[in-house]
Homo-oligomer: A and B are copies of this chain.
Amino acid sequence: MPYELYYWDGLQGRGEFVRLALEEAGADYVDVTREANGMAAMMRFLKSRTESQIPFAPPFLKDGDLIVSHVANILLYLGPKLGLAPEQESLRFIANGLQLTITDFVAEVHDTHHPLSTNLYYEDQKEAAKQRSADFIEHRIPKFMGYFERVLEQNPDGRKHAVGSQLSYVDLSLFQIFEGLRYAFPRATKRFSEQYPALTALHDAVGQRPNIRKYLASDRRLDFNESGVFRHYPELDQDS
């Protein structure tokens, strides 16, 4: 039975971190809301008053009877099944910790355009968004990207991967963050390849993997857009 991924249609968003793992592994999955009646199916789970495993929000993954929600939790669950988690159990907690740092970073990326409320339009919080974005570019990008660069440099199994000696879902998520930041903040990320050489090499290597290349060239990969987490609003970008 294929995995069922539930996420908003029309954007990459948080679902994309799961899609990249499923695609890299060549897993059999359905992106439910892109099918007929998929949105209704997703809303039924979210609004159910009887279901025992109710997700707070998309994305969530259905595997048989089990419903797993939150990106890091889905990847924790899928990782070993897809061959994208470290073999050693202790390293799985390291991988999960890294993925949760990525989760926090993604939330901060989102808050650059929605610092005051997810219930207001961007246009109605633009001034606060400019302040938050300036802070994000000055302080938060260097803090997070500098951290991930160190993680690669200090990996005892080599700087090609975030954890262990093999590709893991963490590497795929770092690829996505790198892509997303370059889309949203082309000026702030201009010097990324000098600033973060190990991350740049990881990003480029992931982008060359056959299944990832195929996916990126397919209709299944949506373009970045201003409905997603990574949004390009030129007024929020600046040189770093």
Contact = CB atoms under 8 A, between A and B. Distances in A.
Interface of A: 48-56, 66-70, 72-73, 76-77, 90, 93-94, 96-97, 100-101, 103-104, 107, 111, 115-117, 119-120, 128, 131-132, 135, 139, 144, 147, 150-151, 154-156
Given A66-B93, A70-B100, A51 B117 contact: no
A137 B211 CA distance: 45
A70 B97 contact: yes
A70 B116 contact: no
Given A56-B104, A107-B107, 17 more contacts: A48-B154, A52-B156, A54-B147, A55-B97, A70-B97, A70-B100, A72-B72, A73-B93, A100-B103, A115-B116, A115-B128, A115-B132, A116-B131, A117-B131, A117-B132, A117-B135, A119-B139
Q: Which 6 A-B pairs have the closest CB atoms?
A: A70-B100, A117-B135, A69-B97, A56-B101, A52-B156, A68-B93
Nearest to A90: B66
A69 B104 CA distance: 13
Nearest to A157: B52
A93 B67 CA distance: 9
Contacts of A139: 117, 119
A128 B126 CA distance: 12
A144 B118 CA distance: 14
Contacts of A116: 115, 128, 131-132, 135
B70 A154 contact: no
A238 B112 CA distance: 26
Contacts of A97: 55-56, 68-70, 73
18 contacts: A48-B154, A52-B155, A55-B97, A56-B101, A56-B104, A56-B147, A66-B93, A68-B94, A70-B101, A73-B97, A73-B100, A115-B116, A115-B132, A116-B128, A116-B131, A116-B135, A117-B135, A128-B131
